Amino acid sequence: MDQPSDDLPAIIAALTPVLTAAAREGGRLPAERTLSEMLGVPRRRLRLALDELQRRGTVFRRRGQGTFVTPPPPPDKGRHRLLAGKLTLGQLMDVRHQIEPRLAELAAIHSDDADIAQLEVLMRRSRDARTPQEYDLADEVFHYRIAELAGNALFLEFYAMIREMRREAGWRDRRAETNKPAVMRALGEQHQRIFDAIATRDVAGAATAQRIHMEFVAAAIQSG
């Protein structure tokens, strides 16, 4: 017999340390069967809890790959890693300058009220981050969600490639070095402006806020 519906907050609370551990260890959660046994809850109740976390933007689920605390890796990750070895930081940022302002525009056009509410939660996580590692995770999820909200599968595929380039160890290490408290505060404020423009359906403002953010990120990394 299923447990009552009000047990979901307790299941979600029990999942918190699992999510924290997954964020440190590559992003993937254990399989549902394993989680069910670890937490001592029926798999159906676990799935409902994961559904709620997915709705909040806390986890990402992809059939055949599992559940992740970061957007799941693409199936051809090896090819992306090879491509990353051929790119300079300047080349990567040039592509981001071309694509991400358009993603912000499309997100402003296509997002509904529920999307905006979820995006606000993700934006606040980036503003509340206290360490470079916390910010890096929050930043990755915030921008990926904007790419999803753009509603264009091909753009999302391009952004998935950009995301894999950003995850390469060398560039991630440089971000960890440059993301000092003052820089993270500035980045969080920029996320706020991007969110505000999307939330008010300010298409041009969303593109401008995203472009300014990209310019700041490029300057911060290059000067670090």
What is the architecture, at CATH level 2, of domain 5-68?
A: Orthogonal Bundle (1.10)
Exposed, middle or buried: residue 145 (CB in 10 Å: 0-12, 13-18, 19+)? buried
Would you report the helix, strand and coil content of the chain in percent, each value rounded to 5? 75, 5, 20
pLDDT at 2 over 50: no
Q: Per-residue pLDDT for 1 more than 50?
A: no
Dump pLDDT digits (tens) for 31-43. Answer: 999 999 999 999 9
- Which CATH code fits 77-223? 1.20.120.530
Within 10 angstroms of residue 206's Cβ, the number of other Cβ atoms is 29
Q: Are 185 and 193 in contact (CB under 8 A)?
A: no
If you average pLDDT over every residue of the chain, what do you get? 86
- Asked if the model's pLDDT at residue 179 lies above 90, the reply is no
Instruction: Indicate the SS3 state at residue 66.
Output: strand
Q: 62: helix, coil or strand?
A: strand
Q: What is the pLDDT of residues 51-103, one digit of tens each?
A: 999 888 888 888 778 899 888 776 666 666 667 667 777 888 889 999 999 99
Pairwise CA distance, residues 120 & 188, whole Å:
12
Q: Where are the domains of the chain?
A: 5-68, 77-223
> Phi/psi class of residue 40: alpha, beta or left (left: φ > 0; alpha: ψ in -120 to 50)?
left
